[in-house]
Structures are given as C-alpha cells and as structure tokens.
Amino acid sequence: MTVAATELAETPFLAAREHGIAFGDAVRVWARIAALSFGGPAGQIAVMHRILVEEKKWIGEERFLHALNYCMLLPGPEAQQLAAYIGWLLHKTKGGLVAGGLFVLPGFLAILGLSYIYVLLGHAPLIEGLFFGLKAAVLAVVIQAVVRVGSRALKNNVLRGIAAAAFVAIFFLDAPFPLIVLAAALGGYVGGPAGIAAFKGGGGHGPAGGKIVHDSETALGEGLPDHARPNLAWSLKISGTLLFLWLAPVVLLFALAGPDNVFSQIAAFFSQMAVVTFGGAYAVLAYVAQEAVGTYGWLQPGEMLDGLGLAETTPGPLIMVTQFVGFLAAFREATGLPPLVAATLGAILTTWVTFVPCFLWIFAGAPFVERLRGNRALSAALSAITAAVVGVILNLAVWFAIHTLFRKVAEIRIGGAGFEVPVLASLNLPALVLAATAAIAVFRFKAGMIPVLLVSAGLGAVYVLIA
C-alpha cells in the first residue's frame, strides 16, 4: 500500500462538503473517459487521474490512490472498478453504476461488431492478413507487460522467487491459476505481519509526476459523504441484490439447460473467473487461455491471440477479450439457435457474469475500505500476488510466442502434467520479422501501443495479399 494511503489511516472521518458536481456533468465526463480508455489498466488509470484529479479536481491524489489500492486487492479489472468506486463516491449507487457501466459499454459494442466481422469474413485474405499482423504485435505488447510489471513488482529475491515458482507451476505443471494466487496471497499475508522485509510495499499503476492535487483542494474535499460511511444494512441489501442479478442466470441455465450446455458452461466458468482472477488483465488471459483452449476447446490458440488483438485496439478493459471467447464458444457449440444469435447471447452472458461481480465488490466493500488503510498483512498479500502475476504473465508471453512464431508445437508429458515446445523447423519467419519489428518500436523507440498494433496489422495485410 502506498505511503499516501498509509498516512490516511490516521485521518478521522470529517463532514463532507457539498461538491456541487451535477450528475449530468459527471455522466459526460465518464463517457469521455470511456472513449479514451485504451492501453490497458496503466493507461486507463492514467486517463482517469489526469481528468478527475488534475483537470476537474473532483477528488485529490490521496483519495484517488486509496481507492486504487483497494481495487488492486480485488479480483477483476482494477481500472473499471476504480471508475465505479469514484462514481459511487461522488453520486452514490447510480453514480457507480453509470461510471462502471460506461467504462465497459464502448468496448463491448466494438468487440461485438468486430466479432461479427471475424466469424463472417475471417477467412478473407485481407482479414487474415490484419490478424496475422496483430498477433505479432500483441506478442511484443505482452512482453512489454512482463517487463513493466516485473520492474515494478520484483524488488527483491523473495518476490523474484515467487514469480519464478508461479511460472514453473503454471507452464510446466499445469497448476490452476486460482491455486497459484491463493498460495502467493497466503505467503504474503503471513510474511508481512511476521516482519519479513521482502513483502513491504505493494504494486500498482499509480500515477507519477506533476503537481500533487490534495484532497483539500478538490470539489469533494477531505470529508467523507454520509453514504460512504460504513452501513451494514445497506451493504447487505446491495450485496444481496447484486448477488441475485449475478447468479440467477447461472442457476436458471443449469436448471433449464443442464450443466453440459455451452451457455451453462460459459456462465459457470466466467463466474468462477470473476472470483479468482487477481492481478490484472494479462493474468486473466493466461487463465482463460488455459481453460478455454485446453479444457473446453472453445477456440484455438491463434484465435485467442486474435481476441487479444481486438481487445488491445478497442476502448475498455482488456478483460473484454472474454466476450470474444464467449461469442465464439456459443457460435460453435450452441444448438437450436441461429449461430449469430447464439453468439450474441454468449457475448452478453459472458459480459454480464464477468462485470456484475465487479459492482458487488465495490458497493459491498467500499464503505468499509477505511478500515483497510495501512493494513500490513493485506499490503504484503498484494505484493506477493503481484509477484506471482509476473510469472503468470511470463507464461502467457511464452505461450503466445510459441503459437505465433511456430506453425507446429509438440507436447511433452511428465507424469500427469505436460507442456508445449515448438517444432523448430516450423518457424514462421514473416511472423518473427513482424514481432521483432514491433518489439523494436515498443522498446527502442517507445512507440505507442495503438500505432504499433495498427501498423503491424497493415503490414500483415500487405504480406498476405502479396505472398
């Protein structure tokens, strides 16, 4: 947990001032943030910080960082949850719903439209070329994520050891992602209060640089609004409502269609994902790829890369790639419905069970979040989880590299576990050239993600059309 949040642990509740921010003005600002929310959680959080703290001065640096630290402790996309938290803080429940919902809506519509194009025109040479180029660029983006998160999170040998153990567990031993996260969290939770220095300090995407805008200088001020004070009755009511909205479709699908129906499987799998996916979008993708490709067979490894390419080039959380997975699963597996109708329902269902829990975590826990400030055990658990996530993202990078740069892979079995190795003779030289070019642009010239993705897609299209 950051120093700012730790210091706030000693701050008593103050009476809140009237912030004077009209709800309509807030809706327009949240729509603007949603439209600009490219670039993964770091970029999205930076956009929110620039607009809400620096430009509008609706909330201050201390409150922003405290909210971010809380969201970092939760499963799911921290940027979307941060939007819901701040929206709730400013305009109660409706503010949180609008802020969090708008954060998802543009990406949902964009990926839905691109998914239609993918299944209807995906075998056209131009479309194949675009996705060929995207895959190569996505590999560079994921490697960049490993470096970025690793440089921030792995500050000592203990945390580096956790990252290495996580990579070995998931890549070589097929260990479930939730088990890796749980083991890391328990280690940090125990190690922090025990005084192990390696667990001090948490990770995060916190903003840096520029003049600090303090809470006292903002519209909300330093005080806590009445609705943000702990209220067990309200928390139980809102939790029960959101829990029903989340799980009712899951129960109905199991009751009416049975556990083997693809819609039941989508509802159950992505509901489980919403509970256990700590560590950000790239860690989620490793888990989704492991299950959707390896266990359920809903899509091929290359298609998983295509989905990530779509999510990288559209606004909203990168976790929206799950919508693409649900779309393809229902398109191929559903019976009794036209494929596109089934796919649309699969995309809606996936998005619903992925994001409704995010509102549950925020609305149920935010009023009590003051009690988490400066909690050493939770901060240590976050540090350990973040370290494990580096290993999981490295696994994702290796997995993507194998399936992007080689046309064939072989599986090696050791006991009950197995891992994939590339067939070296099947090296895809054009993919290697594109990936290397994208990596040079990202690491050497610090090119932005969107330009790299678009240029790589264009080069891929040119190659396929002239080859």
pLDDT in tens, 337-358: 999 999 999 999 999 999 999 9
Copy the structure tokens of residue 278. Answer: 């700590």
Give the model's pLDDT for residue 12.
Answer: 46
Identify the top-confidence range among 6-15, 208-217, 272-281, 295-304. Answer: 295-304
Phi, psi of 116 (to 5 degrees): -60, -45
Mean pLDDT of 28-44: 80
What is the three-class DSSP state of 278? Answer: coil
Copy the structure tokens of residue 419. Answer: 């891992």
* pLDDT more than 70, % of the chain: 89
pLDDT band for position 281 (cuts 50, 70, 90): low
Give the model's pLDDT for residue 6.
Answer: 40
d(CA 160, CA 291): 26
Mean pLDDT of 37-64: 81
Residue ranges per structural domain of the chain: 3-201+231-462
Over residues 156-189, the pLDDT tens digits come to 899 999 999 999 998 888 787 778 878 988 988 8
Identity at 229, one-letter amino acid code: R
pLDDT band for position 23 (cuts 50, 70, 90): very high
Closest CA to 341 of 116, 37, 41, 31: 116
Mean pLDDT of 207-215: 64
Higher-pLDDT residue of 34, 36: 34
Give the model's pLDDT for residue 336.
Answer: 87
Copy the structure tokens of residue 97. Answer: 């719903």
Give the model's pLDDT for residue 467.
Answer: 79
Mean pLDDT of 421-427: 94
Give the model's pLDDT for residue 330.
Answer: 97
Give the model's pLDDT for residue 9.
Answer: 41
Give the model's pLDDT for residue 204.
Answer: 46
Contact indicator for 202, 383 with CB cutoff of 8 Å: yes
d(CA 143, CA 165): 19
Give the model's pLDDT for residue 8.
Answer: 37
- What is the DSSP code string of 32-91? HHHHT--SHHHHHHHHHIIIIIIIS-SS-HHHHHHHHHHHHTSSS-HHHHHHHHHHHHHH
d(CA 221, CA 59): 7
Contact indicator for 456, 136 with CB cutoff of 8 Å: yes
Over residues 361-400, the pLDDT tens digits come to 999 888 777 555 556 777 787 778 878 878 887 887 888 7
Q: Is the pLDDT of residue 13 over 60?
A: no
Rg (Cα) of the chain, in Å, rounded?
22
Q: Is the pLDDT of residue 313 over 80?
A: no
Token pair 């050493």 is found at 376
Copy the structure tokens of residue 38. Answer: 């490219």
Phi, psi of 421 (to 5 degrees): -130, 145
